[in-house]
């Protein structure tokens, strides 16, 4: 009987040594220490032994059971460790592999140009003043000398906002230009010191909206940058000097400028500033339509009644204002033939800037 136990032990330990994975370990467990294993069958044979033989056999089989169970646990721990090591080895990162390139976004070309314009104006002492996109009819038109039936309104077809209030001054619009910000700024500054309002030198950037048929040349939205300079001794000479210097910083130090008289309701006198065409150097080409000049901005001396609307006494204060379009400048510079590209969100267009 004890020989049998020894045989079972030898055989069980030998097969266990060759078990390399969990599935085979489970098979081994069922076969060697499971309920129907030869070892367990030995227990039932105890009854047939004589009283003298029983103790030795009992000790032997209990020792065998404890041994095989311990060997089983050791083997299980060993397999677990081996599997862990194998998975760590196979999942190891190769940190020498080059990374995947990250796609970088960029600023919209309009934003880029807007920042460039504002950067130049900032160097020249202008501070940025932002006004609202939704304006009252009063600020967008009336305080700028554009009364309800003024012909200038025809140039600016307007998006009106339905507020249910039809009182002319209370009507709300999407601003058609950044000029209403002039009066907002003047009123804010003059209210701080009504008897002696401070001088002003501000740039007003922002989106403007017009109720236009969308074509290659006109869009329903576009940016403008407005400028306003007010003080007690500001002249048309300051306007010309400041805007010519701006043009040199923006378009190149040798660029020539010229001022043509024009009309805007909120300035008097008014002008347009042209720069010599930088594509053909003034000889005439398709970009400047053979004229040799490119129209860059509208400007003028702030109209006395606009000054008064802002709380600045026109007898003591004077100033100039100007307005330009960053998208228009980009179109000229890059020969962009269709303004719709700006808000079309076509990545092939945007990626070029
Ligand atoms: N507000 C004008 C427009 O949208 C542009 C403009 C012209 C602004 C002359 C000015 C100015 O400040 O002085 O067409």
Q: Which atom of ligand 1 is nearest to the CA of 324?
A: 5
Residue minimizing CA distance to atom 8 of ligand 1: 323
Q: What pLDDT sits at residue 217?
A: 87
Three-state secondary structure call for residue 19? coil
Q: What pLDDT sits at residue 155?
A: 67
Residue minimizing CA distance to atom 13 of ligand 1: 299
Q: Are 282 and 276 in contact (CB under 8 A)?
A: yes
- pLDDT tens per residue, the chain (353 residues)? 788 889 999 999 999 999 999 999 999 999 999 999 988 888 888 888 888 888 888 898 999 999 999 999 999 999 999 999 988 988 888 889 898 999 888 999 999 999 999 999 999 999 999 999 999 999 999 999 999 888 877 766 899 888 887 777 678 999 999 999 999 999 999 999 999 999 999 999 999 999 989 999 889 999 999 999 999 999 999 999 999 999 999 999 999 999 999 999 999 999 999 999 988 889 999 888 999 999 999 999 999 999 999 999 999 999 999 999 999 999 988 989 899 999 999 999 999 99
Q: Which two tokens stand for residue 224?
A: 């403008």
Q: Are 213 and 139 in contact (CB under 8 A)?
A: no
Three-state secondary structure call for residue 127? strand
CA 32 → CA 13, 78, 112, 170, 263, distances in Å? 10, 18, 79, 96, 107
CA 65 → CA 69, 142, 239, 286, distances in Å? 6, 104, 106, 101
Q: What pLDDT sits at residue 48?
A: 85
Residue in 181, 208, 226, 306 to alter for ligand 1 test, most ligand atoms within 8 A of Cβ? 226
CATH number of 109-350: 3.30.930.10
Ligand 1 pocket at CB < 6 A:
177, 179, 226, 264, 267, 298-300, 321-323
Tell how strand 200-209 and strand 127-128 pair up: parallel
CA distance linking residue 103 with residue 101, whole number of Å: 6
Is the pTM higher than 0.85? The answer reads: no
CA 67 – ligand 1 centroid, Å: 99
Count of positions (residues) in the chain: 353
């Amino acid at each position: 009987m004890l020989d049998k136990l020894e045989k079972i032990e030898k055989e069980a330990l030998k097969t266990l040594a060759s078990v390399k994975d969990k599935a085979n370990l489970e098979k081994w467990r069922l076969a060697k220490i499971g309920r129907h294993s030869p070892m367990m069958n030995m227990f039932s044979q105890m009854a047939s032994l004589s009283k003298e033989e029983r103790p030795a056999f009992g000790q032997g089989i209990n020792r065998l059971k404890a041994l095989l169970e311990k060997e089983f646990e050791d083997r299980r721990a060993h397999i677990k460790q081996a599997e862990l090591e194998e998975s760590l080895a196979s999942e190891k990162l190769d940190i020498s592999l080059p990374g995947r390139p990250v796609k970088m976004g960029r600023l919209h070309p309009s934003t880029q140009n807007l920042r460039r314009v504002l950067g130049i104006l900032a160097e020249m002492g202008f501070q940025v003043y932002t006004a609202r996109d939704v304006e009252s009819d009063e600020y967008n038109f009336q305080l700028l000398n554009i009364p309800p039936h003024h012909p200038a309104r025809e140039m600016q077809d307007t998006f009106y906002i339905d507020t249910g209030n039809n009182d002319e001054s209370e009507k709300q619009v999407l601003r058609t230009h950044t000029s209403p910000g002039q009066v907002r700024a003047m009123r804010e500054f003059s209210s701080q010191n009504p008897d002696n309002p401070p001088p002003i030198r501000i740039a007003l950037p922002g989106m403007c909206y017009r109720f236009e048929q969308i074509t290659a040349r006109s869009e329903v939205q576009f940016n403008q940058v407005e400028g306003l300079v007010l003080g007690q001794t500001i002249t048309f000479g300051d306007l010309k000097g400041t805007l010519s210097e701006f043009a040199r910083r923006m378009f190149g130090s040798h660029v020539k400028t010229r001022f043509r008289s024009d009309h805007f309701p909120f300035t008097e006198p008014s002008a347009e500033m042209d720069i010599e065409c930088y594509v053909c150097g003034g000889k005439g080409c398709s970009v400047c339509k053979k004229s040799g000049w490119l129209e860059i901005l509208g400007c003028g001396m702030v109209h006395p009644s606009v000054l008064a609307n802002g709380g600045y006494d026109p007898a003591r204060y004077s100033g100039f204002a100007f307005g330009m379009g960053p998208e228009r400048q980009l179109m000229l510079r890059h020969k962009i033939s269709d303004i719709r590209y700006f808000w079309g969100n076509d990545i092939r267009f945007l990626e070029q800037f």
